[in-house]
Structure 1
Amino acid sequence: MGPTFFVWTVLASLIFVSVSAFNGRNAEPAKTFIVDLDDPPMQRWQKVVLSAAVDASYYKQGIDKLLKAALSSEALVELVEVIAKDIEKFIPQPFADEIRGISQATGIPLGDVVIANIIYDVSAFGSSGNKACTSIVTADKSGKIYHGRNLDYEDPEFLKNLTIQVDFHQNGKSLFMATTYLGYVGVITGSRHGAFSISGDERDSGEWWQNLIAVAEKSDITFFHERMILEKCTNFKEALTEAMSTPTIAPVYYIIGGIKPKEGAIVVRNAHTLANVTMLGMDQTHPWYLVETNYDPWKAPPASDDRRDAAIHAMNRVGQDEMDAEMLYKVLSVPLVFNKDTTYTTVMSAADSSVYRTMIRWDGPED
């Protein structure tokens, strides 16, 4: 038990306040499954969903609940269900066949799996009222980049039961790691080995009909696009350029970390257009890290949901000299940043594939 452990323990006891009420369970590591991109799309996810023994009725009930909570009216729910019935028109390949394969293997109706995969793109807009996620990119004292995120969403227990890590393989080797939910073929959190890491945070901006216009204009489904960034881009610069330049259906924050000092960015997108980019080092008050929750970086967060300042306070108390993967996990576990809607916490570093870890947050507060 050396001096590093002692320093970590003392800092943790000074900095991090326990959340007052817990569910009585410890956080658990997410199970890891392999998806081989060289397999036919229909087959890629079948072993995963069969191994995980997804219950069709439980899945349908959960998706129905999420859909009704995410959308503001029955009319919108009905519209989404219409979209879900025409998979070829709205879902590009290879994603359409991957979704078909999941439906075929599980017996879950195809429309339900489609809805699960497009729910973000039809629910992220200015008046949706959803709050989801905290992402942090930080450099340690040597300049090594770490990237952490909490994913918060409605009905967290349902999503915790579906949380998995996926090791995407290509040409016989691991290409990138990702964290997702069973039945969801997009990627919201991922790290390409030796290249970059990326996470997506919800941005509630614009009007719901702007998302539909973006659909008609053939913009990319937001987190299918993030997965394609992980598949196609080979370094931070390429990933940043792709995140900035490719139109997405819904507004979103893409948070990207690299493998070199100062490789970090928050890409702010509207539906279909780029809104802003903030690079690591731009904020001179804390040039060694970036924090993004669900509010534009140039605006103050509302007092009712100030996860950003809670994270900034914790990061400053830790300091760059003590930052590492374990400390970043601790920052993501402070109250407000860690809350009743947190489904999982992932800490990753594209420079070091051994860092990648997703914990399902059963240890969260009850209310």
Structure 2
Amino acid sequence: MWNNKITILLIFLAIQGIFGEQCLNDQWPPKPERAVPTYVVNLDDPPMERWNQVATAFKSEIIDILAFFKAYIVEISPNLKFLLELIDDKLPALADTLPAPYGDEMKGISQATGLPLGIHIHMQISLPYWDMSNNTWILTEKLRTLITQINFTRNGEVLFKTTSVLTGLKPNAFSVSVNSRTSFQGGYEGLIEWIFNINRNQSFITFALRDMLTKAESFDVVVNYLAETELLAPCYYIVGGPKPEQGVVITRERTKAVNITRMELTMATYTTSVDTQDRLLESPMRETSINTVKSIPISTRYGYVLVTQQGASDRPVIVTYHDVGYNSATQFHHFFAFPEMIPITEHFTIYHINAPGQEDRANPLPSTSVYPTMEQLAETVNDVFNHLDIKTAVGFGVGVGANILTRFALKYSTKIYGLILVNCISRGIGWFEGFTLKWPTQDMPQQAWTDALLTYLIWYHLGYESQSAHPDLVQGLRRHLEENVNAKNVVKLLNSFLKRTPILMERPNELNKNANPPISLKCNIINMTGFSSPHKDDVIDTNDKCDPAKSSYVEFADCGGALLEEQPAKTAEAIRLFLQGLGYISHLSIPKFSIANRLTEQAAEYKRRNGPSSRAPRRSSAPFDSVDSGLYRSDSQGDDLDDDPNYYGHELQLRVDSFDDRNVKL
């Protein structure tokens, strides 16, 4: 008997799954006959009365769909009439098993339309599981007549809006849509478990969607709710918020989320799914300390600088300094809101320093003003420290910003506890570099953008390989330079950088302990660059001038000069390890398999370079002193470590323990 019930149900569900036709094209803007009406469902009304207006308005369409549905089943086989009888006789009892208020709402719709409760319940609970092949059903044109926008109200105000049962919008907060890709073991199986009372501690995906729209107040709450709620069927949710960084795709299995993909922002991506679903968002959602950015104008001895604050005010301090052509907003704000950086942002106060005149849409600096030199810009950093009463901080600089913070750390060594340097150039301008820069910078006195100058800055930030691999970054950077920043001010900063003097520091002499102590950085340093960065040799040169006991060198494969845009997750991981080596955020766990995944990536790269039949040598877990030594060990040391998680865990622990005092090439 039990098997017969399941067989009958599966036959009926399979019939629904074969109804399909292709979607229509070129239907935007919608034709007048396809205009979507709007109705109000008042959540203050009793559940059995909420849908009376909608049910009455669409009574004829619902009857038409029901007649079509029954006729189609009988047309397939007259012997299937018993399925309709089963639905009419057995499914009404399910209304009392459904979570409130959905069972009572279905009863109310049944009474308002005069239609059998069983078929209505069936249509509601099985709708998310019908389509498995990315088509719509043969019922498309029938269902299209039922498409309507529902404004759910409470206390006279719109709480949220929906179009059909798979999309929703909470004004000023978030939008969400759900798509279902199911199979028996993850879709119909859950429905069977509910019908036969095997497991009812799960939610229908449409009920979960509406529960979330009713209760959730913010983007983050929505993401957590949809990722953790146990469902009857696998699906994926697309959630968007009113901010550029608020976009996420949640891939679900029945019990948990198997993947949460957040929007990876570059300057070229400033749209979210909420923009495409509703452009009527009138005010930003409730801010958090991570997303809230506070502006602090500070007067220094060399002019005003704008400092922005991210994170709470009572934490250890990180001070950042941007590269030429960027500013705090485009270089750091979104990076510190990146998922892998959030554990860091939550535990630090981050002050982002903008060089004079470099903030977005800054007013042009006076023509008569003399822009500060690199040494003078380092002094403005000290003025910022004094104004904000910063006793000590971790510095985080990129390019020009790394050069400035290094100068500051040399002069004010007690104020910098650690340095995170990306593409740091410590040498001065050589004759060859001066010669090669003569053509692209010949129009700099005009203090306006030229094609040659834009081309140079794009190469400076990305390098040739990244320009080819990431055209979106090229377009975004060009658009940012042309539209957001003041060309005259950027040229002034670039001119100061091209007139820089070398940073006078050198590695301590370990052989002659009696020699005069050299000028060197006293803090711990991590020097980072990309494999194809145009500044890779300069970063290696800078690292060679640092105390090897306090410096680390990190080079990212498949990456050019824009580490924060090309490899934000790996950059965040390196920063996190460095900060933990300094004694900060030591309670945070380290991604267990991050090194294992990195080894897999490197093995694939080795085979790409040496042929698919080549066998990648193993990587040694022992500390090593130079960039190129100790990276691999031969296969003769044993094959018993293949895919051994203990090996990877042991290697990871060694890497964490020795991160401060060795060079790492990732």
Question: Considering the TM-score relative to the shorter chain, is it more than 0.5?
Answer: yes
Paired position in structure 2 for 1:251: 234
Percent identity over paired residues: 27
Which structure's residues are more often strand, by fraction? 1
TM-score by length of 2: 0.34
Over 3 Å counting, the alpha-carbon distance change for 1:31 and 1:65 in structure 2 is: farther
Report the CA distance between 1:267 and its aligned residue: 0.9
> Conserved in 1, the CA contact under 8 Å of 2:160 and 2:169?
yes
TM-aligned CA deviation for residue 196 of structure 1: 0.7
Alignment of 1:155-166 (within 5 A): 155-166=139-150
Query: Match of 1:199?
Result: 177
Asked if the contact 2:242–2:272 (Cα under 8 Å) also holds between the matched residues in 1, the reply is no
Partner of 2:99, secondary structure, is coil
CA spacing shift, 1:29–1:55, aligned 2, 3 Å: closer
| Cα separation, partners in 2 of 1:83 and 1:61, compared to 1, 3 Å | same
Q: Which residue of 2 aligns with 1:302?
A: none
Residues 153/20 of structure 1: CA separation in 2 closer, same or farther (3 Å cut):
same
Matched with 2:258 is 275
Instruction: Give the counterpart letter for 1:109 in structure 2.
Output: P
Partner letter of residue 129 of structure 1? M
Matched-pair contact (CA < 8 Å) for 1:280–1:288: no
Q: Deviations over 1:65-94 (max 9, x none)?
A: 8999xxxxx799688777623224542110
Structure 2 residue aligned with 1:177: 161
> Do the aligned partners of 2:41 and 2:50 also contact (CA within 8 Å) in 1?
yes
Q: Secondary structure at the match of 2:60?
A: coil
SS in 1 for 2:281: coil
Shift of residue 266, structure 1, vs aligned partner? 0.8
Partner of 2:189: 209
- Where in structure 2 are the equivalents of 1:280-291 lying within 5 Å? 280-281=263-264, 287-288=269-270
In structure 2, C-alpha distance between the alignment counterparts of 1:165 and 1:290, rounded to whole Å: 21
The secondary structure found in structure 2 opposite 1:96 is helix
Number of equivalences: 250
Structure 2 equivalent of residue 31 of structure 1: 37
Structure 1 pair 203/108, CA: closer, same or farther in 2 (3 Å)?
same
Instruction: Name structure 2 gaps, 5 residues minimum.
Output: 1-23, 75-79, 284-666
Matches within 5 A, 1:57-72: 57-64=63-70
In 2, the alpha carbon distance for the partners of 1:246 and 1:268 equals 12
Task: Say yes or no: does 1:239 pair with 2:222.
Answer: yes
Distance in 1 (alpha carbons) for counterparts of 2:82 and 2:246 = 40
C-alpha separation between the residues in 1 aligned to 2:209 and 2:93? Answer: 23
CA distance in 1, matches of 2:52, 2:61: 14
For 1:359, the equivalent position in structure 2 comes to none
- Of 272-281 and 225-234, the range deviating more from structure 2: 272-281
Give the corresponding residue for 1:52: 58
- Give the secondary-structure state (helix, strand or coil) at the position aligned to 1:256: strand
Letter in 2 for 1:348: D
Separation in structure 1 between the aligned mates of residue 88 and residue 192 of structure 2, nearest angstrom: 14
Q: Which residue is equivalent to 2:642? A: none
- In 2, the alpha carbon distance for the partners of 1:65 and 1:113 equals 16
The 1:86/1:191 distance shift into structure 2, 3 A limit, reads same
| Structure 1 counterpart SS, 2:169 | strand
Measured against aligned partners, the alpha-carbon deviations of 1:37-68 in whole angstroms (never above 9, x if no partner) come to 00000000011111334345313134558999
- State how far apart, in whole Å, the 2-side matches of 1:60 and 1:176 are: 29
- Residue 344 (structure 1) aligns with: none
What's 1:300 paired with?
none
Counterpart code for 2:148:
I
Matched, 1:86 2:109: no
Shift of 1:155: 2.1
Which range is displaced more, 77-86 or 88-97? 77-86
Matched residue of 2:217: which SS?
coil
The 1-side partners of 2:44 and 2:72 are apart by 32
Q: Is the 8 A contact 1:281 1:288 kept in 2?
A: no
Higher helix share: 2
| Cα distance, 1:84–1:273 mapped onto 2, change above 3 Å | farther
Q: Give yes or no for contact 2:36–2:147 (8 Å, CA) kept in 1.
A: yes
Bigger relative contact order, structure 1 or 2, given CA contacts below 8 A and separation 6+? 1
In the alignment, is the contact (CA less than 8 A) between 2:39 and 2:151 conserved in 1?
Answer: yes
Q: CA 1:287–1:153 in structure 2 vs 1: closer, same or farther (change >3 Å)?
A: farther
Give the secondary structure class of the aligned counterpart of 1:86.
helix
The Cα of 1:351 is off from its aligned counterpart by: 2.6
1:120-135 counterparts in 2 under 5 A?
Answer: 120-121=127-128, 123=129, 129-131=132-134
In 2: Cα distance, 1:25 partner to 1:191 partner: 23
Tell me whether 1:102 sits opposite 2:109 in the alignment.
yes
Give TM-score scaled by structure 1 length. Answer: 0.58
Change over 3 Å in CA distance of 1:285–1:65 after alignment to 2: farther
8 Å Cα contact 1:177/1:191 also seen in 2: yes
Partner in structure 2 of residue 266 of structure 1: 249
Query: Cα 1:110–1:203, aligned 2, differ >3 Å: closer, same or farther?
Result: same
CA distance, structure 2, for counterparts of residue 212 and residue 288 of structure 1? 43
RMSD over aligned Cα atoms: 3.8
Q: Could you tell me whether the CA contact under 8 Å between 2:240 and 2:272 is conserved in 1?
A: no
Deviation of residue 197 (structure 1)? Answer: 0.6
Structure 1: any 5+ residue segments left out of the alignment?
A: 1-17, 69-73, 133-151, 181-186, 292-323, 329-346, 354-367
SS in 1 for 2:160: strand
Counterpart CA distance in 1 for 2:162 and 2:65 is 21
Between 1:159-168 and 1:262-271, the stretch displaced more is: 262-271
Distance 1:285 1:276, change over 3 A: farther
SS at match of 2:161: strand
Pair member with larger Rg = 2
Equivalent-residue separation in structure 2 for 1:212 and 1:201 (angstroms) = 20
